[in-house]
Amino acid sequence: MQVPSQEAALRAPSQPRPVAMPVKPSLVGMTRQELRDSLAALDIPERELRMRVGQLWHWIYLRGARDFDVMTTIGKGLRARLADAYTLARPEVVTEQVSRDGTRKWLMRMPSTGPFDKGAEIECVYIPEVDRGTLCVSSQVGCTLNCSFCHTGTQKLVRNLTSAEIVAQVMVARDRLGDWPDESPPEGAFVPSDGGRFVTNIVLMGMGEPLYNFDNVKAAMDVVCDNEGLGIGRRRITLSTSGVVPMIARAGEEIGCMLAISLHAVRDDLRDVLVPLNKKYPIAELLEACRTYPGVSNAKRITFEYVMLKGVNDSEADARALVRLLKGIPAKINLIPFNPWPGTEYECSDWETIERFSQIVFDAGYASPVRTPRGRDILAACGQLKSETEKLRARARMMLESGIGAEGMFSAAE
């Protein structure tokens, strides 16, 4: 006899099935076109739409409005109709962790899409410096690409984020940092002190492969760059890809952002293992796409990310081969100390090895900053993101206890 599962028992035929409650959509994160469609759905006359979109845009993206009541340029009647049909809700912040170095990591839950969906969870990391604040934004929940050294690639659930969900990460960051007119940062928070905005730069280096979610990433960056709103310059946005060659030129043409390539190896046989996408798009094709990246120049160089894995890709011969490989490409090389995560087979290279590697790259005429690991104590560093709240807490504790979270182990500046 089959024993009914608990869920089936809960939904026995005599019981009413759970009904999806109509969820009011949030306007936050929407593009101009989406706002226009949302207004048109309220039967706002065609001739008013442009002006109304402009008003909403101003309140949402310039003023950070969290309530329709503050939108004083919009009449009371329309404000009430908007509030009936829509919200200004942001993704829920499930946890906020603040590292000893000021880095903040938010675990955000996206609104549920139905009765059995508890809402996708993603992570977003804020890295403050004296004169800039960089937000590391996710483009997907999880990642399909399974790079062998990356924690995110081990996450099972994968879906694309919508453009609104990508923009909403910036909105949440500015909310939590008090980065709106007439607001101030939380007591004791580390934010840039140069009098400018707290979120000045965006790196698409969180969870996911941004070029596998191109349309949503592009639409989101259009919102984020809009000068009448969030106003982040395109050159302050860096898109990092593991090498989706056919989409690289479009990133330059249509997003106009800076490009970072996760190279990590100088030989195809090794890169096939570290970044399995290499089997599809090998190093030579990847570098050709970089040579012809729209707008690439000495002023707009491509960043090559190279994770330092002990005994795997960190020899002096590797360093020399790297320099040869990048000849002729306006490039910066960013050496990333491997950030360990429980269960990984890799170790970070020794500091002396990283220094030797860096020196060879530097002697060849490249700036070779070693990326200072930030937020290691809260598992916020590159490749440590994986949004399973409970496991994450347990792992963070484990890592702290085993001393892996000793940030400041590497001291080079970017």
Residues binding ligand SF4 (CB under 6 A) = 143, 145-147, 150, 152-153, 208-209, 242, 262, 383
Rounded Cα–Cα distance for residues 287 and 263 (Å): 10
Considering only CA atoms, give the Rg of the chain. 23
Nearer to ligand SAH, 143 or 158 (CB): 143
Per-residue b or e along 3-33, where b marks 16 or more CB atoms closer than 10 Å to that residue's CB: eeeeeeeeeeeeeeeeeeeeeebbbbbbbbe
82, 107, 150, 237: residue in contact with ligand SAH (rule CB under 6 A): 150
Q: Which is nearer to ligand SAH, 307 or 360 (CB)?
A: 307
Cα–Cα separations (whole angstroms), residue 139 to 25, 208, 216, 241: 20, 5, 8, 11
Given the residues 123, 129, 305, 407, the one annotated as active site: 123
Stretch that binds ligand SAH, among 100-108, 144-152, 220-228, 287-295 (CB under 6 A): 144-152
| 264 among annotated binding-site residues | yes
Question: How far is it, in rounded angstroms, from Cα 387 to Cα 49?
Answer: 39
Backbone φ and ψ for 334, nearest 5 degrees, come out as -115, 110
| Interface with ligand SAH in residues 240-269 (CB under 6 A) | 240-242, 262
CA-wise closest residue to 107 among 65, 69, 155: 155
Q: How far is the CB of 412 from ligand SAH (least distance, A)?
A: 15
Q: If phi over 0 gives left and psi between -120 and 50 gives alpha, with beta otherwise, what is residue 208?
A: left
CA–CA dist 107, 96 (Å, integer): 7
Site string for ligand SAH, 351-390 (x = CB under 6 A): -------------------------------xx-------
Verify binding: residue 307, ligand SAH, rule CB under 6 A. yes
Choose from ligand SF4, ligand SAH, none: what does 140 bind? Cβ within 5-8 Å by kind.
Answer: none
Question: Which residue, 44 or 296, has its beta carbon nearer to ligand SAH?
Answer: 296
Is 382 an active-site residue?
yes
Residues paired with residue 121 on neighbouring β-strands, in sequence order: 109
Q: Is 147 annotated as a binding residue?
A: yes
Question: By three-state DSSP, how is residue 362 classified?
Answer: helix
Beta carbon nearer to ligand SAH, 84 or 414:
414
- When CB distances to ligand SAH are compared, the closest residue is 383
348 is catalytic: no
Choices 118-126, 228-236, 331-339, 405-413 (CB under 6 A): range interacting with ligand SAH = 331-339
CB 399 to ligand SAH: min, Å? 12
Q: DSSP label at 236?
A: G
Q: Residue 83, Cα to own-chain centre: how many angstroms?
A: 30
Span of 156-164, 172-180, 238-246, 280-288 interacting with ligand SAH by CB under 6 A: 238-246
CA end-to-end span of the chain: 65
Note the residues at the interface with ligand SAH (CB under 6 A). 143, 147, 149-151, 205, 209, 240-242, 262, 305, 307, 336, 338-339, 382-383
